[in-house]
A = this chain, B = another copy of it.
């Protein structure tokens, strides 16, 4: 549908056929014998080279062919004379759709900092780095849908606006249509949310899990893939106020099945990118090598493709939280008091601990299970010992926790007890509790922050660079 794209044209065998190429000028180079225009339309990291003869076009026209301008070029597709590409276009005609004044167009062919590019997020998809990231992001998203569809899961659109902070997963954004300058009051003087749009207080969801469970208790296997929100004032390279989560929930899955699914899922999705995004991954691998070329050898990252293949090819290490604590207690950094946070059974593992396990001790992805109930959510199934829950966290090198999940508590009384224990009003969760009252069953699920996955696969280091228009404290531009 629509005109041929540069990706397709570059794969066509050149037989002097007529072609039309549309795209944005990346560079223009003039030599004595020819004028070379590198054109890119975002369909691929590769430009197509279009060649004109000196004098073929007026100086006036050529002066508008500058980096960033948009052209329609018609000509002949011929075997390329230069190296690096198989085909090029012998230009017959140029139509300039839109110019890009070199004095003001910010994306000149030179290196721009990622910080600068964040300020022009409306234009950064026109750079090699960001177009590669966005194509990989697309491929990963498609792989997610394909994986679950093939596996008999149903995509469930859980609500974004919710009246329950069910998970207690974090600070929430309020959603309201009340006029803040004329807030309605009850007789007691409190804000009268009965007059708000939904007749009650409403927020942006922090997770679709609880509603996802409702789906799984009817359709057996569902997944969500939608935006979730955290109103935390975190200005870090790992947090966004708005990000996309993938949350499968499965009836009849126990913790072991859940781990099998999580490992298979993440491996298949990364494999899809390795197969379908070779050129973009190569580009990002080289970019990273270039960035790190001044670092000493031992501080440089593993090459991107090697890192991804390693994750795909090796079984994840599975152990319990208790076993992990033992390893940490015996570790060199613990004995030498190099960990910033103390180690001991009951602690919430911090990033340094997770990284030690993944990067130093096992040197591969790790799945930790059976965490102390005190540091995990109320909906996780209690182990027989009454101390731990059937939680599982998948830890990745460089990223830390990429997946968090658990077998869910299916026993009504135990769940109700935990709800009360953590201070949630059971009234607010009547619908969630009822799934344990009517036809309950063992079930499990997990959540994967999509941007964490994209971060890992692209080798980027700031999460604001793997989503088109990042939302974070004091920033909602574009």
Q: Tell me the A residues contacting B by CB distance below 8 Å.
A: 1-3, 5, 7-8, 22-25, 41-43, 68-70, 72, 97-101, 104-105, 107, 121-123, 125-126, 130-131, 134-135, 137-138, 141-142, 145, 149, 151-152, 154-163, 171, 173-178, 180-181, 183, 191, 197-200, 202, 204, 211, 214-215, 217-221, 226-227, 229, 231, 233, 241-242, 244, 250-253, 257, 260-261, 264, 410, 431-432, 434-442, 467-469, 471, 473-478
Contacts and interface: CB of A to CB of B under 8 A. Distances in A.
12 contacts: A2-B261, A5-B221, A98-B441, A126-B217, A131-B219, A142-B145, A142-B155, A175-B175, A176-B176, A180-B180, A211-B478, A226-B227
Kindly name the residue among A233, A410, A473, A476 whose own CB sees the greatest number of chain B CB atoms within 10 A.
A476
Contact of A439 (B97, B202, B221, B437): B97
Nearest to A233: B197
A134 B215 contact: yes
Kindly name the residue among A8, A22, A107 whose own CB sees the greatest number of chain B CB atoms within 10 A.
A22
B475 A199 contact: yes
B219 A152 contact: no
Number of copies: 2
Contact of A180 (B104, B183, B226, B436): B183
User: Can you list the 7 inter-chain pairs with the closest CB atoms, starting with the nearest?
Assistant: A98-B440, A42-B219, A125-B218, A122-B431, A199-B474, A198-B476, A70-B439
Contact of A7 (B99, B152, B244): B152
A199 B98 CA distance: 34
A240 to B, nearest CB: 10
Contacts of A8: 152
Given A98-B410, A157-B227, 9 more contacts: A2-B221, A2-B250, A2-B253, A2-B257, A5-B152, A123-B435, A158-B469, A159-B471, A160-B229
A432 B264 CA distance: 41
A203 to B, nearest CB: 9
A72 B101 CA distance: 70
A45 B51 CA distance: 60
Nearest to A228: B160
Contacts of A23: 220
Given A68-B439, A97-B439, A191 B180 contact: yes
Nearest to A159: B469
